[in-house]
Amino acid sequence: MKPPVFQCDLFTPVHQYRRYLQEYRELGVICMCCDQYVKEYKRKLNSGMARALWEIYRITRHSNGDAWLDLGRMLNRWITLNREWSKLCYWGLLEGRNSPPTPGREHGVFRITPEGVEFVLKQRKVRRYVCVYNNELLRFEGELIDIEDAFEDKFNYPELMSQL
């Protein structure tokens, strides 16, 4: 299903256009102001993310939560290429030193949160999905899972592409 075309002119109030974007964000629309594709995405905590979090915990477990890592340089090639680890911030399991990113500041520098440690140690469960719009967390969805459940859930490219 495609969203209807937004009919407007120079005198159309901005709030009407914002309402249109909000109403059809699940379907995806092209913003007529910036030509950006605007869509709400449902992201799953998958095995690649769980593996990255476990590796971060393994590297920093003796640091009392004070170890900031340049993950692009620290983690092994498989995890670095995956790049899914940055999404762990939506669940509060990882935090970035520069969140939100600011031009000219450190990027890719993260640390595990106390909640992330609890998740790795199976002392905490999180919702399987996050819904994200414009890089902002909207809500959590799905059943509660622990890290073992996440390890069993392999990344599914067709499932991700079905959101387009």
What are the tens digits of pLDDT across the range 42-75?
999 998 899 889 988 988 888 776 788 777 666 5
For residue 19, is pLDDT > 90?
no
104 pLDDT band, cuts 50/70/90, is very low
For residue 1, is pLDDT > 70?
no
Tell me the mean pLDDT in the region 71-100: 73
For residue 80, is pLDDT > 90?
no
Domain spans, the chain: 42-161
Higher local confidence (pLDDT), 146 or 164: 146
pTM: 0.76
Average predicted confidence (pLDDT) for the chain: 80
The pLDDT of residue 9 is 63
What are the tens digits of pLDDT across the range 28-49?
887 777 777 888 889 999 988 9
Paired strand residues for 30: 37
Higher local confidence (pLDDT), 90 or 163: 90
Distance between CA atoms of residues 96 and 56, nearest Å:
13
| Size (the chain), residues | 164
What are the tens digits of pLDDT across the range 112-151?
999 999 999 999 999 999 999 888 899 999 999 999 999 9
27 pLDDT band, cuts 50/70/90, is confident
Paired strand residues for 94: 112
**Can you point out the beta strands (E) in the chain?**
29-30, 37-38, 40-44, 69-70, 94-96, 109-112, 126-133, 136-145
| φ, ψ dihedrals at 9, nearest 5° | -140, -170
- Closest by CA to 22, choosing from 13, 31, 34, 33, is 31
Cis peptide upstream of residue 100 (ω within 30 degrees of 0):
yes
